[in-house]
Chains A and B, each alone.
Chain A
């Protein structure tokens, strides 16, 4: 069970120069359900799979609005994500009060990463166990950022995190070159197709467990869920793609395993 004696504290380096507690925190991101984000030249889109604990319960919330121009998708510990979301909303509000303009996403992302970093440097607090995808449209255009518990932050054209996200990532990597010219709805479809691959077993993407957030030029951040999501799911159905074992994803699984290797040392950059 325990790898060694160096893995119980964030302030202890292992002989290989790794911080195992931080790496374990990175693992908790993979426990959360999948979340994808991608951008075109005009829009950013987040897509997420919502879990529910039983037939009797509602589905969790996976996409949170932060400001008019910005939303996040989460994978990992939801409570940690809410803490961070609250802080981010506050930052955006402050920025709007002080400067009269929307918070630049890059700045928010680095500030957020610094917040993560602080927890990895001192003894008293554990790292946040959540990975975030930020999708925004600010004065520099659309952005997608990915953050990790280690405090690393990446700006991406597209990204996928969470459980079984590898096949979603494979889908995105394969198609990301076509994203820039995509319209709003096409981008949403790409997000859904990437999500389908992340569903386990015989599951299906439905208007209950699917969730989409969009923001773009002249469009504030909106959530598309439930009945509003249905037309997109119908379109997906027409393509014959709404099924975890779809043809597209089969071939994706091939390089999934070798890619997984890459994930491991993400923190060292």
Chain B
């Protein structure tokens, strides 16, 4: 407490009325409690010689199918892909952040030539994202996404062959790695199917067929999904490849889709 005798000292400050700012602070700040424009599932799977991601291109506004050609699979650097569901604007800012980092790495590389590039491997991008997401969550202001990261992991000694990497980070900073991953509704619908069919030695074609099947089933079952999709892969020698959006064939004449099964004779379930 100040002992100053000057006017404006401690005494004059003692009974200041609570400011409006203070009043607002007392109520607490409300941060994001739900996402607004959202993407749905992302599927990811390792196969022989690479990693593949799949997602549809729908971004919903609540139950409204608002943007039907939004890309949710993005390349971050020459050997890393991300795919994300959840708040689309947060995904855009994450992509900006990661691409900014990649550019920075390129610019601060040890020399002007490729071989000295200090590019982050997928494992590092994933770990970095985990730190970002966890920090945001602890500040009670999360980035509302589940992000799948695919690519290759460099061995610490940099000598032996790199291994494929597939990991996911969620909005509270949980980081998890596996051979097959799915986020969003896909974690309930597609993941069991993928686990059943997955083999480590799958060829690229098989992997793609399986992922397309899963996307199709998600389109049938998930009201926030679309049959317009993208597939992306990272391979050992080819780097990153993200397909243009394309449409999956669908078949709606399954018996279960057309005949009522419920006792009530309504859409009680098929």
The interface of chain A, by Cβ under 8 A from chain B, is 97-102, 104, 106-107, 110, 137-141, 155, 217-218
Contacts and interface: CB of A to CB of B under 8 A. Distances in A.
Interface stretch (B5-13, B69-77, B155-163, B179-187): B155-163
The residue among A98, A155, A217 with the most chain B CB atoms within 10 A of its own CB is A98
Interface in B104-163: 108, 110, 116, 118, 120-121, 123-124, 126-128, 131, 154-159
B127 A99 contact: yes
B131 A139 contact: no
The residue among B121, B154, B156 with the most chain A CB atoms within 10 A of its own CB is B156
A99 B156 contact: no
A101 B110 CA distance: 18
A140 B157 CA distance: 7
Nearest to B124: A99
Contacts of B131: 97-98
- List of 10 A-B pairs having minimum Cβ-Cβ separation, nearest first: A100-B127, A139-B158, A99-B124, A98-B131, A106-B110, A99-B127, A104-B118, A98-B128, A217-B157, A99-B128
Contact of A140 (B120, B121, B158): B158
A104 B118 CA distance: 8
Interface string B157-181: 1110000000000000000000000
A98 B126 CA distance: 9
Contact of B124 (A100, A106, A138, A141): A100
The residue among B110, B131, B155 with the most chain A CB atoms within 10 A of its own CB is B110
Main secondary structure of the interface of A (DSSP, over half): mixed
Interface of B: 108, 110, 116, 118, 120-121, 123-124, 126-128, 131, 154-159
A101 B108 contact: no
B108 A139 contact: no
Contact of B123 (A100, A102, A140, A155): A100
A110 B108 contact: yes
Given A101-B123, A104-B118, A139 B128 contact: no
The residue among A99, A106, A155 with the most chain B CB atoms within 10 A of its own CB is A99
Nearest to A68: B156
B118 A98 contact: no
Contacts of B126: 100
B149 to A, nearest CB: 12
B115 to A, nearest CB: 9
Contact of B120 (A99, A137, A217): A99
A107 B126 CA distance: 20
Contacts of A140: 116, 158
11 contacts: A97-B131, A99-B128, A100-B126, A100-B127, A101-B121, A101-B124, A102-B156, A104-B118, A139-B155, A217-B157, A217-B159
A101 B156 CA distance: 7
A217 B158 CA distance: 10
Nearest to A217: B157
A98 B135 CA distance: 11
B127 A139 contact: no
A102 B193 CA distance: 37
Contacts of A104: 118
Nearest to B175: A100
Nearest to B132: A98
Contacts of A217: 157, 159
Contacts of B157: 137, 139, 217-218
A218 B157 CA distance: 8
Contacts of A141: 158-159
Contacts of B108: 107, 110
Nearest to B110: A106
Contacts of B128: 98-99
A107 B159 contact: no
Given A139-B154, A141-B158, 9 more contacts: A98-B131, A100-B127, A104-B118, A107-B108, A137-B157, A138-B158, A139-B155, A139-B158, A155-B110
A84 B259 CA distance: 75
A102 B120 CA distance: 12
A217 B160 CA distance: 12
Contacts of B123: 100-101
Contacts of A99: 120, 124, 127-128
Contacts of A218: 157
A137 B127 CA distance: 21
The residue among B116, B123, B157, B158 with the most chain A CB atoms within 10 A of its own CB is B157
Contacts of B116: 140
Contacts of A100: 123-124, 126-127
